[in-house]
Structure 1
Amino acid sequence: MITDKMLLQLGVVNPVLEGLKNAGLEVVSIFSDVPPNSELKVIRRCADEAIAKGVEGIIAIGGGSVIDTAKGVNILLTHGGDLVNDYSGAETLPGPLKPLIAIPTTAGTGSEVTHAAVILDEANHTKLSFVDRNLAPHLAILDPELTLGLPAKLTAATAMDALTHAIESFTSIQANPVSEAFAAKAIPLIRTNILNAVLHGENLEARGALLTASTLAGIAFDHAMVGVVHGMAHATGALAPVHHGTANSIFLPWGMEYNLKVCAKKYAEIAKLLGVKVNGLSSQAAARKGIDAIKRLREQLHHACGLPYRLRDAGVGEELLEAIAEGAVNDGTSFYNPREVVAEEVLKEVRKAY
């Protein structure tokens, strides 16, 4: 079992352990030393422990970092080798992996249903992507009760992560009717429940709606990928200790501004999904109103729980802005952006986000 220290201390994993015991299944090891951003060295250490104990399957209980860690561990547990040299990139796995069950405790990453993992290479200050059809968990269990203890700020950050997945997959160059349908269902679910879940964390209905939306958005971007917002967020997370969802929330309207000239019609559709009245407006004007709605939502979340909406408020120094823009260009997600990602142009949006 892979989880994090806080969930272990709070006893969140106890019902799962009890259920497994009653079913006659043995948990031979519990690894809880997972950081906020999944790291190569942590995966290697966990994999060594799993191999030594003869693990036959993995249960991951936690947020995206825990689930991505489990995916990385499963690669080494099943196939051995070197995670970076042998498996980074796309479609590199030689075959199926051992059984992996994902139980998310945050409503944001969608990692429980995706074929991808993002791992921090702490030595080189970069984030590595692993994408393979065999990487997705074999089973995802959505239980909103497991998200009830999520702090308000983390609830907001993870929900904005899911919203970013939905919006970017909707406008990706690989968008298709399937991905658009999942994204279009996720966006209004997030819009109508995010503030309720932040302000009233005990509201199980709102929590469940966000968890469902997160999974829907995860399926959407698993079909279509994301874009420059994630490129900027990944670059930021590799350079500074900023939560991935927070980074996406900060960059979302500015990434949309970057793409506006090529995405007006789709952003107009997104505006409708965000509940904006756009009757009689041109696509450009409707799209602009949609972006403004995202900005207002971030401000509401900032006032409700302190979620940062500027890089400076998240502890990012101005000296990192150029590196963030360069990192966004080199990030694999930017290849799917509807507008070519050029460092000089992206830097303008990064400065606005500062």
Structure 2
Amino acid sequence: MQEFFEFRLLPRVLYKSGLVAEMGAELSSLGATKAFIVTDAGLVKSGLVEHVQQALAETVEVVGVYSDVPPNSSVTVVEAAAAQARESGADLLVALGGGSPIDTAKAMRILITEGGNLLDYEGINILERRLIPMVAIPTTAGTGSEASNFAVIKDEANNVKLSFTSPYLAPELAILDPQVTQSLPAHLAAATGMDTLTHAFETYVSTESEPMSDALALGAVEIVSNYLRDATHHGPTNEEARGQMLIASCMAGIAFTNAYLGAVHALAHATGGHFPLHHGLLNSIFLPHVVAFNASTVPDRYARLARAFGINTGGRPREEVIDDLIAGLRQLASDCGLITQLRDLGIPEDALPMLAEQAFGDGAIYHNPVAPTVDDLLGILQAAW
């Protein structure tokens, strides 16, 4: 066991079916009077934004809604939304949606509080004070952004994804309500669920892993292995499965905030920066290949993950267990209807060297249990292609 580790407890997390309708009373502790909602057009169309507005109105005034957040948010979107929120006089941001609206709201907080150029705050621990308060209501079970101190925003000018990291970026309150995930389409339930699984896997084998993040990561893996298939195929009628996946996503989010991620995310960030593809889907494709790459360095860790995943590990060679784990990851993705090869997403093979170079410079790579070379990353990309 490590002689020293630090574990951050981030937002207050509340879970209950139907909690969104009751959340107005929870806002009094934040001292806010004017709320600004950050979301996407699909959630407006679904009626969920109106539902949230009604709940907020019991306690605060809703002074604006920004609903043009795309699946992969950008610096331009953050700047436009922040300007609108600032003009409205908002003193509270409420992010409703998946990782993109939540990360957008996090980045907006920087501009609203600090002003200036968003790119000036890229990196680790640049911020020095508390930001405008924020509530996160995830409608997907994948990113864990409601519980993390990270925000990932695309720089469209350079086709790269930028990472912002600071304890001050974590929301003050996370609302987990399985009812708001009931309308999530099956393919998004699957992709976001594999994102949760990837967070847990990478956290557990990270060079920064520690006992408390380990426990959360293993718990999240067990939940995903038991509930993702039902949450994908029977989500609208299986509130338990959707609720369990929300819990797993939040657990994994807290875990990776403390222990960080690895090569899967570096590769997904690079690929997603150049091609408009779902982050969770890319993680799902890369995860088995990175497990195979890392396996000889941390076999005991992957064997423990295999046990949490439901693989029979008793008295068997670790290599055999890990082979079954890799096969199990591919089977889970396939069972949930996800594409499993990059070529089937329209990524040209001649783009792979460029993606390898870019992944090599991604911050997530530094916590991978094996320090990969650019050639190593190219080999993983070719195998995934």
Verify: 1:15 aligned to 2:46, yes or no. Answer: no
Verify: 1:338 aligned to 2:372, yes or no. Answer: no
CA shift for structure 1 position 6: 0.6
CA distance in structure 1 between the partners assigned to 2:186 and 2:331 by the alignment: 18
Show CA shifts across 1:254-273 (max 9, x none). 11111111011101001111
CA shift for structure 1 position 282: 2.1
CA distance in structure 1 between the partners assigned to 2:42 and 2:333 by the alignment: 27
Verify: 1:272 aligned to 2:303, yes or no. Answer: no
CA shift for structure 1 position 183: 0.4
User: Who is 1:139 aligned against?
Assistant: 173
Please say if residues 40 and 122 of structure 1, whose CA atoms lie closer than 8 Å, have aligned partners that are also in contact.
yes
User: Who is 2:64 aligned against?
Assistant: 29
Verify: 1:121 aligned to 2:152, yes or no. Answer: no
- Moved >4 Å (runs of 4+): none
Q: SS where residue 332 of structure 2 aligns? A: helix
> What residue identity is the alignment partner of 2:254?
I
| Structure 1 length-normalised TM | 0.97
CA distance in structure 1 between the partners assigned to 2:42 and 2:327 by the alignment: 36
CA shift for structure 1 position 150: 0.6
RMSD over aligned CA atoms reads 0.9
Alignment of 1:212-227 (within 5 A): 212-227=247-262
Please say if residues 233 and 336 of structure 2, whose CA atoms lie closer than 8 Å, have aligned partners that are also in contact.
no
Q: SS where residue 296 of structure 2 aligns? A: helix
CA distance in structure 1 between the partners assigned to 2:99 and 2:330 by the alignment: 25
> What residue identity is the alignment partner of 1:21?
A
Q: SS where residue 235 of structure 2 aligns? A: coil
CA distance in structure 1 between the partners assigned to 2:378 and 2:292 by the alignment: 12
CA distance in structure 2 between the partners assigned to 1:42 and 1:296 by the alignment: 37
Alignment of 1:1-354 (within 5 A): 1-23=37-59, 25-85=60-120, 87-202=121-236, 203-302=238-337, 307-354=338-385
> What residue identity is the alignment partner of 2:365?
S
| Structure 2 length-normalised TM | 0.89
Q: Which has the higher strand share?
A: 2
CA shift for structure 1 position 114: 0.3
> What residue identity is the alignment partner of 1:20?
L
CA distance in structure 2 between the partners assigned to 1:19 and 1:276 by the alignment: 44
CA shift for structure 1 position 315: 2.2
User: Could you tell which deviates more after superposition, 32-41 or 194-203?
Assistant: 194-203
CA distance in structure 2 between the partners assigned to 1:147 and 1:96 by the alignment: 30
CA distance in structure 2 between the partners assigned to 1:162 and 1:21 by the alignment: 32
> What residue identity is the alignment partner of 2:355?
I
Identity %: 44
CA distance in structure 2 between the partners assigned to 1:341 and 1:126 by the alignment: 20
> What residue identity is the alignment partner of 1:325?
A
CA shift for structure 1 position 323: 1.4
Please say if residues 231 and 328 of structure 1, whose CA atoms lie closer than 8 Å, have aligned partners that are also in contact.
yes
CA distance in structure 2 between the partners assigned to 1:171 and 1:81 by the alignment: 37
CA distance in structure 2 between the partners assigned to 1:222 and 1:236 by the alignment: 22
* Unaligned runs of at least 5 residues, structure 2: 1-36
Q: SS where residue 292 of structure 1 aligns? A: helix
CA distance in structure 1 between the partners assigned to 2:156 and 2:295 by the alignment: 34
> What residue identity is the alignment partner of 1:31?
Y
CA shift for structure 1 position 317: 1.6
CA shift for structure 1 position 288: 2.1
Show CA shifts across 1:153-212 (max 9, x none). 110000000000000000000000011000011001000111111111221000001010
